[in-house]
Amino acid sequence: MKKVTIRDVAAAAGVSHQTVSRVLNDRPDVAAETRHRVQEVIRELGYQPSAIARSLTQQRSFAIGVVTAGLGYIGPSRTLNGIAEQAERMGYALLLKELPGFDTNDVQPLLNTLIARRVDGIVWAVPEVGDNRAWLDEQGAELPVPTVLMTMEARPDVSIVSVDNYAGGRLATEHLLAQGYRHIAHISGPLDWWEARQRKAGWRDAMLAAGVSEAKLYAEEGNWYSASGEEALLYLLAAYPAMDAVFVGNDQMALSVLQVACREGIEVPGALGVVGFDGLPETAHYWPPLTTVYQDQQEVGRLAVTTLVDMIETSRGAATRAAPEVISLQPELVLRASSVRNAPR
């Protein structure tokens, strides 16, 4: 099949090839009706403009650097999927770099590599763990290209996209309280993670608001993995006999809690209400199905790219950077039988 050229598009649209070029480069000096007609012909013919030519013409790489870590975890991989999907939709290629660990703080060589490849901007898709963002506090406002960070505490002069983990923790706990549970424990993720601390803070504040004293708050720290959920529940069963519900910091640990409860003869949700966090698809297929706080991690990735491209476009030819933006997605509670007393069976 013959490759469609810019001259083919021009002939079909009844315009010059220079006009087609101006449409492709989003130049303002094209009438709206003409622009629409050219775009329709491009779609009909399936014309694919040369990325190299576009890059040379606009003096841009149309490439985004993406820094990630822990792709073996479900969350980072789902986020990366959203990043890739939106970058493709917006006409950008990705240059992916994976850190050796979440707590890596020596990031300058990696940043230098991305800048040397002339990326137009960077998405920093690494969860905030320990002090792995110390470098950001020192040079965040001086990064040489527009940068969007994800899943971290808000900082001045930096654009951030994340889920409201604190709101998710409160949402889960307030639901359990509304179901009549009063002795609600918490199994957190590792507390050097900002997300885990935020979810725990939401649980704590909801319990205090319900009149539970600080001395009667029971929590145990897990590590996101299933085995730690089992260990944490066994500890809480011994340390907190009155416990009648547990909010678990992620779904992997929560599914282990369901398994332990079944093994130990603890009825869920009658004797123990259980709520997880993440919204993994498999949570609907356990028994009982798991109530979970759903966070749309793919949407976080998509929004990060959209925000970054807006920053890139705004900064082109401008004397100053685009103003930083903080976007916080609200999680949703997915109600299922593990936490709803008198639920139909």
pLDDT digits (tens, 9 = 90+) for 176-193: 999 999 999 999 999 999
Nearest to 112 by CA among 75, 65, 158: 65
Please provide residue 147's backbone torsions phi and psi, each rounded to the nearest 5 degrees.
-140, 135
Q: Which amino acid is at 223?
A: N
Sequence ranges of the domains in the chain: 6-49, 63-163+297-330, 165-295
Which has the closest alpha carbon to 181: 21, 309, 340, 296? 340
User: Whole-angstrom Cα distance, residue 330 to residue 303?
Assistant: 13
Same fold, 63-163+297-330 and 165-295: yes
DSSP state of 293: E
d(CA 103, CA 198): 18
Q: Is the pLDDT of residue 164 over 50?
A: yes
Query: Using an 8 Å Cβ cutoff, are 219 and 166 in contact?
Result: no
Predicted confidence (pLDDT) at residue 172 exceeds the cutoff of 90: yes
Q: Which of 123, 127, 49, 40 has the alpha carbon at shortest distance from 87?
A: 123
Residue 301, Cβ density class (10 Å: 0-12 exposed, 13-18 middle, ≥19 buried)? buried
State pLDDT tens for residues 244-274: 999 999 999 999 999 999 999 999 999 999 9
230 vs 100: which has the higher pLDDT? 230
The tokens describing 305, both together, are 């790219």
- CATH architecture, domain defined by 6-49: Orthogonal Bundle (1.10)
pLDDT tens per residue across span 45-57: 877 665 544 544 4
**Contact predicate 206/257, CB 8 Å:** no
**Tokens at residue 75, please?**
């969350």
**pLDDT value at position 50?**
56
The upper half-sphere exposure of residue 106, i.e. CA atoms within 13 Å in the direction of its Cβ, equals 2
Q: How far apart are CA 267 and CA 275, in angstroms?
A: 14
* CATH fold for the domain made of 63-163+297-330: Rossmann fold (3.40.50)
User: For the domain 165-295, what is the CATH superfamily, name and number?
Assistant: Response regulator (3.40.50.2300)
